[in-house]
Amino acid sequence: MSVLVLMRDAGDELSLQALAFARSLGQATGADAEPTAFTIDGPYAPASWGQTVADLVTARSPRAVIAPGTERGNEVMAHAAAILDEPLSANTTAFTPGDPPTVTRVRWGGSLLEQALLRGGTLLITVAPHAVGAAPAGVTPEVVPASHHALALAPTERVGASSGGVTLEEASVVVSGGRGVGSAEGFAVVEELAGLLGGAVGCSRAVTSAGWRPHTDQVGQTGTKVAPEIYIACGISGATQHMAGCKGAKKLLAINSDGEASIFAHADYGVIGDVHAVLPAISAEIRKVRGA
């Protein structure tokens, strides 16, 4: 039996992680060696895309359908699961074959890993971002036209995120500001450093609550989970709910004026100081080193 993988596009990092997950699931369950990757072509509408996945399942009877555990991946797969009357394991980190198989999935904003039995004719699974390494790029996904059966909800307008092209989820550098940045205008120093490093801007909930940045920039339990090479936390105290979003970072640099701030307990590198003095100094040094 086959395994299908819903991809955003051929080079998308989180889709390649879903592909790697699908390959190991395929090997573990004795399904066809190579999963069939596909993308959906058509305007995004969750019910329509969910119907497309459900139609594919009905037509091909795969053992499993795997998708990235992004907001969109989870939404589409939830619709497909409802149409097919199958269970969905969302934000899955591991799969153990068995009858029924066991899945491990992330719950409560990353503070809990739960094991569950997945009893389904077709296993519907989304993969938690960065739970597994990405498969090498090089697949050509099959393009499946979106079903037009169910356009109950279709977005009419999309307002772009403010991170300058690099998405928070996939950025290799994230410069994140907290209440200590002081104001919306104060984020200029955060944006400057992120721009120099080709990174994305993140923030804490204190910042989104104050209306200084949009919710799309929020890192944490109720925001985006990031896994950059380095996370630079500026004026962020280190609350558990914030750390739930950045614990996947390989290195953490904390800049905080309070040497007792709990963020320093999680940090690989720390600077005790005012963000409005430290960040411009780092940016100036980077420009100097680059000769710009």
Residues that bind ligand FAD (CB under 6 A): 178-180, 204-207, 218, 220-223, 235-237, 239, 241-242, 245, 256-258, 261, 274-276
Omega of the bond leading into 97 within 30 degrees of 0 (cis): no
Contact 171, 163 (CB under 8 A): yes
- Cβ 204 to ligand FAD, closest distance in Å? 3
Query: What is residue 8's DSSP assignment?
Result: S
Q: Which is nearer to ligand FAD, 72 or 179 (CB)?
A: 179
Contact 53, 5 (CB under 8 A): no
Q: How many residues does the chain have?
A: 292
Residue 277 tokens read as: 């003095």
Helix (H, G, I), strand (E, B) or coil at 237: coil
- Cβ 266 to ligand FAD, closest distance in Å? 12
Contact 87, 81 (CB under 8 A): yes
Contacts of 63 (CB under 8 A, 6+ apart): 1, 2, 3, 26, 29, 31, 122, 123
Q: Which is nearer to ligand FAD, 51 or 256 (CB)?
A: 256
- Cβ 184 to ligand FAD, closest distance in Å? 14
- Cβ 201 to ligand FAD, closest distance in Å? 14
- Cβ 227 to ligand FAD, closest distance in Å? 15
Q: Which is nearer to ligand FAD, 215 or 250 (CB)?
A: 215
Q: Which is nearer to ligand FAD, 88 or 190 (CB)?
A: 190
- Cβ 277 to ligand FAD, closest distance in Å? 8
- Cβ 175 to ligand FAD, closest distance in Å? 13
Q: Which is nearer to ligand FAD, 34 or 285 (CB)?
A: 285
Q: What DSSP line would sit under 205-222, residue for residue? A: HHHHHTTSS-GGGBBSTT
Distance from C-alpha of 207 to C-alpha of 204, rounded to nearest angstrom: 5
Please give the residue whose beta carbon sits closest to ligand FAD in the complex. Answer: 220
Distance from C-alpha of 59 to C-alpha of 74, rounded to nearest angstrom: 22
Q: Which of 264, 244, 253, 237 is nearest to 181 (CA)?
A: 237
Q: Which is nearer to ligand FAD, 8 or 242 (CB)?
A: 242
Q: Which is nearer to ligand FAD, 17 or 204 (CB)?
A: 204
